[in-house]
Structure 1
């Protein structure tokens, strides 16, 4: 992709996703992803309805009238986006590819994070960590992240989700909220997911194309694996082939969903021909 095309795409994503973050997601995001806890702010005189457990007895004794401690949410979070840049993200049979949807969803989360004064960082991964962008704040930082998502060309095309989860666990020392955005065609990451979610708050966003769920009946078709490059002819006119493929998809989807449930990881699945706004809102409300 040429530089001018990248900048144009970045601007399009910024306009769309920044507006969504400001007008739709801001409140839901704040409620769904809490700060690290409550920190002391000040002492004020007791008012009717205040929790008596918050009375500061030392100050009360000094002034001979009741005072209470006031606490504020320690809001600042570190948010990490773990973004799948493997070959399979390039697939798409609707008006957008999985890559385009992943980029938009990540941008919405990034703008929502900085509006809540959170730091945002990114790990782009294939079957290795392709790029690490340390957590920072600010619009300039967000635009840098979007440029990387749009224009980045990975060295490898295969996927290793377990590897990036282990990297997250080792590289980010303090607890963070980590969004893993992938098609999750790789299913060998259960142990790494459990360990990562014990240290961090891991959230999974699965993106898939509707054509991936079943094969059309269009005769012999030459397929190419986007990650391994393997070529294979398949007779899609045979019902047994179409049924076997659909069964593979359903088994894969159920295996991944079961891993999320067993690991205590919140997740949502979004098709490329669907509105991801509704899916993210449902996820946020579920966590609120």
Structure 2
């Protein structure tokens, strides 16, 4: 039974299909215009908690925003405590980008790496249009590049050019996502929004550093996937390659039992991954290679709006959510 990091091998394109400027112009017309109209200027919903510096900790009081509760301090002191922030008008966002070999997979023309690039282009341009800065940390066989946080369209083009011209990573063993997260903790010292863009096909050990990042920063896990990683169609006898190690084997997808076992293991991994992300205290945006980017971002934004309204309703009612009410 192959590991779920093993995927059907597809041919690689040797050069980018379009320049960074062409890519950005296309996305500005097809995606950004739609988001501008739908968000109606409320792009900060994507960046809840950004633009703030931690100033102090104090006990929870009536009307405090429950989103600012510091759970570690609350558990330690057995009394709800909230973080007090001072406003910082300039926001910074960092893209922590997993560019390991498994990101080059896609069951159609659209690969996970293409979705990653489009997502970075849209979010980076949306943020820089409003005077904010964006930076990136890149992981291939290891953490091998950092692009400092700057503003402006030219900086976005520089970031996209780096992604579009970067050679595909050679198979060099399993991805160690924890290295990317630990590097970000050292590099990004000021409170920022961090987008961890990965398929999370990686060695274990990434949960703790992700949780530590979420204690200091606003962290969003952008999880990329392909439909073929969840369920195999009946394609007969096909070669499967482990994108991380290059190991190959032949499997019979005509075998209904094999397809059921594959789907069962995939579903189990999905559940475990979502639970791990929830335990780390981060929001998750899932992007499939067959998904509509603008639609996925809007669904994610709507979810955060609903959560914000529910949190505000609890605070306005002068009571804590049930799970917090029992903390003391």
TM bucket (normalised to shorter chain) is: 0.7 to 0.9
- Looking at structure 2, the residues matched to 4 and 216 of structure 1 have their Cα atoms a distance apart, in angstroms, of 29
Q: Which of 175, 198, 206 pairs up with 1:182? A: 198
1:229 alignment counterpart: 246
Partner SS state of residue 215, structure 1: coil
- Deviation of residue 170 (structure 1)? 0.9
CA RMSD in angstroms, aligned pairs only: 2.4
- Deviation of residue 166 (structure 1)? 0.5
Q: Which of 197, 205, 216 pairs up with 2:233? A: 216
- Looking at structure 2, the residues matched to 108 and 10 of structure 1 have their Cα atoms a distance apart, in angstroms, of 8
1:275 has 2:292 as partner: yes
Q: Which of 127, 132, 148 pairs up with 1:118? A: 132
Structure 1's 148 and 13: CA in aligned 2 closer, same or farther, altered over 3 A?
A: farther
2:51 alignment counterpart: 36
Gaps (5+ residues) in structure 2? 1-13, 54-85, 306-328
- Looking at structure 1, the residues matched to 17 and 104 of structure 2 have their Cα atoms a distance apart, in angstroms, of 20
Q: Which of 208, 228, 253 pairs up with 2:270? A: 253
- Deviation of residue 31 (structure 1)? 3.0
Structure number with the bigger relative contact order (C-alpha 8 A, sep ≥ 6) is 2
Partner SS state of residue 131, structure 1: strand
- Looking at structure 2, the residues matched to 84 and 265 of structure 1 have their Cα atoms a distance apart, in angstroms, of 17
Q: How does 1:1-288 map to 2 (within 5 A)?
A: 1-2=14-15, 5-7=18-20, 8-9=22-23, 11-13=25-27, 15-20=29-34, 22-25=36-39, 27-33=41-47, 34-37=49-52, 74-153=88-167, 155-157=169-171, 158-186=174-202, 188=204, 189-288=206-305
- Deviation of residue 252 (structure 1)? 1.6
- Looking at structure 2, the residues matched to 267 and 102 of structure 1 have their Cα atoms a distance apart, in angstroms, of 15
- Looking at structure 1, the residues matched to 216 and 170 of structure 2 have their Cα atoms a distance apart, in angstroms, of 28
- Looking at structure 2, the residues matched to 3 and 190 of structure 1 have their Cα atoms a distance apart, in angstroms, of 33
C-alpha offsets along residues 210-234 of structure 1, whole Å, 9 cap, x if unaligned? Answer: 1111112222211111221101011
C-alpha offsets along residues 63-86 of structure 1, whole Å, 9 cap, x if unaligned? Answer: xxxxxxxxx963311100111211
Structure 1's 274 and 76: CA in aligned 2 closer, same or farther, altered over 3 A?
A: same
- Deviation of residue 286 (structure 1)? 2.7
Q: Does structure 2 retain, via aligned residues, the 8 Å contact 1:76–1:116?
A: no
The runs of 4+ residues in structure 1 deviating greater than 3 Å are 1-26, 34-38, 154-158
Gaps (5+ residues) in structure 1? 39-71
- Deviation of residue 146 (structure 1)? 1.0
Structure 1's 73 and 199: CA in aligned 2 closer, same or farther, altered over 3 A?
A: closer
Partner SS state of residue 268, structure 1: strand
Bigger mean CA deviation after superposition, 133-142 or 263-272: 263-272
Structure 1's 122 and 17: CA in aligned 2 closer, same or farther, altered over 3 A?
A: farther
Structure 1's 152 and 264: CA in aligned 2 closer, same or farther, altered over 3 A?
A: same
Q: Does structure 2 retain, via aligned residues, the 8 Å contact 1:86–1:126?
A: yes
Bigger mean CA deviation after superposition, 260-269 or 90-99: 90-99
TM-score using structure 1 length: 0.80
